[in-house]
Amino acid sequence: MKEKLLTLMGEIEDANRRQARLYEKLERSWGRYRAAGEYSSLVETAFYLNQLYSGYERVLEAVAEVFGNSVEGPGRHKSLLEKMRLHVKGLRPALVGDEAFWCLNELRAFRHFFRHAYDIDLEPGKVELVVTKALRLKELWAEDTRDFMHFLEEMARMADDGPDPG
């Protein structure tokens, strides 16, 4: 179990670094859209919002796999998000708090729209709302994952995977 916990911690840290790069790209493309109003910058911003949620979802899936909370089938994306909001007594704390959950859910819904939209123009107001949620989520995620990482560190410290080499 200790190896799984340490691997999960590494995955979360790596995902957070990747997300930081995506946020930089998001902020640049959104800034270009706001400055020039070019539709191509709006589409680029939407693409980065889509990528951000995919990155967050990878972390959710990794946590679910380690703690036996995986979900399959229709509605799995929303179910996964809802499970990560739960504190499971005796197993794990919630990965995300309520406000982060709502921001993530907005990003999830936007990703679904973005991936399945055909011949539909993006609405700048909707994109702006999702950008605002994504930027708020950046702060919330940092806090939530910091707390979750402390939990994982403590679990790894307590895990007994064999004799103590020292």
Which one has a higher pLDDT value, 120 or 57? Answer: 57
Examine the pLDDT at 160 and tell me if it is beyond 70.
no
Q: Hey, what are 28's tokens?
A: 């640049």
Confirm whether 163 is domain-assigned.
no
The pLDDT-based confidence of 75 (bands split at 50, 70, 90) is: confident
Average pLDDT of span 119-141: 95
Predicted confidence at residue 161, as pLDDT, reads: 53
Predicted confidence at residue 118, as pLDDT, reads: 75
Which one has a higher pLDDT value, 72 or 131? Answer: 131
Confirm whether 58 is domain-assigned.
yes
Confirm whether 144 is domain-assigned.
yes
Confirm whether 166 is domain-assigned.
no
Q: How many domains does the chain have?
A: 1
Q: Is 119 left (phi over 0), alpha (psi -120 to 50) or beta?
A: left
Examine the pLDDT at 157 and tell me if it is beyond 80.
yes
Predicted confidence at residue 29, as pLDDT, reads: 98
Give the domain extent around 34: 2-158
The percentage of residues in the chain with a pLDDT greater than 70, rounded to a whole number, is: 96
Burial-class residue 40 by CB neighbours within 10 Å (0-12, 13-18, 19+): exposed
- Distance, in Å, from the CA atom of 113 to the CA atom of 160, rounded to the nearest integer, reads 45
The pLDDT-based confidence of 162 (bands split at 50, 70, 90) is: low
Confirm whether 165 is domain-assigned.
no
